[in-house]
Structure 1
């Protein structure tokens, strides 16, 4: 049975290897505020939920129905053979998202490095 939305958001964030700080920055809130969303301490507004859906590049139904046990090697230790095509497709999508994020971060780092080199010269 799918967990609560806040638990699903936390699981997806962890699978995507996003930090709470990253999510808070993208949502324009504090890390502490974001942590309260994941813990279910504060209610998640529709606007913030839509932003999270956008950050995860997933649809709302997928987040609501998310089953972390399909993706995490925990209690049942599912093997690749026991996963369905849809499960494998979702895992592949998460890895593609992670690779795309890493490529964007690398590009950003390269631009920042160039800016510093242009400003301060090479060492």
Structure 2
């Protein structure tokens, strides 16, 4: 995968006036870990990329694309079958299952008390 998107992450962060500390806080990591994201010295999961795109308020497809213009609308060639969209859906479904399991466990604990 082309790592130019890491430069776009930094540029967007700076355009919004966000510090690395702010981004790290929003992502639930420390500033040093966030710096590694921008410096391309750490592996970046699709889920983390998606979270970054949410914090920066940009569509993840655009964040990863080579386009120079940033906007929040979907590109003209966007389709729900796009491999990245499929991966994002899979991540969301996994997170939903985890949350549902957590709710079931908490409900069971509450019923026991």
TM-score bracket, shorter-length normalisation: 0.5 to 0.7
CA RMSD, 1 decimal: 2.0
Distance 1:60 1:6 in 2: 12
Does 1:54 find its partner at 2:54? yes
The 5 Å alignment of 1:2-21 reads 4-21=4-21
Task: Give the secondary structure class of the aligned counterpart of 1:55.
Answer: helix
Corresponding residue number in structure 1 for 2:27: 27
Gaps of 5+ in 2: 72-113
Distance 1:64 1:16 in 2: 18
Structure 1, 57-66 or 44-53: larger mean CA deviation: 57-66
Corresponding residue number in structure 2 for 1:38: 38
Q: Which has the higher contact order (CA 8 A, sep 6+)?
A: 1
Distance 2:39 2:61 in 1: 20
Distance 2:30 2:21 in 1: 8
Corresponding residue number in structure 1 for 2:64: 64
Flag the structure with higher helix content. Answer: 1
| C-alpha deviation, 1:4, in angstroms | 1.1
What does the per-residue CA deviation read over 1:13-72, in whole Å, with 9 as the maximum and x for residues that have no partner?
0111100000000000010000000000001111111101111111012212352xx6xx
Q: Answer yes or no: is the 8 Å Cα contact 2:3–2:40 preserved in 1.
A: no
Q: How many residues get paired? A: 69
| C-alpha deviation, 1:3, in angstroms | 6.4
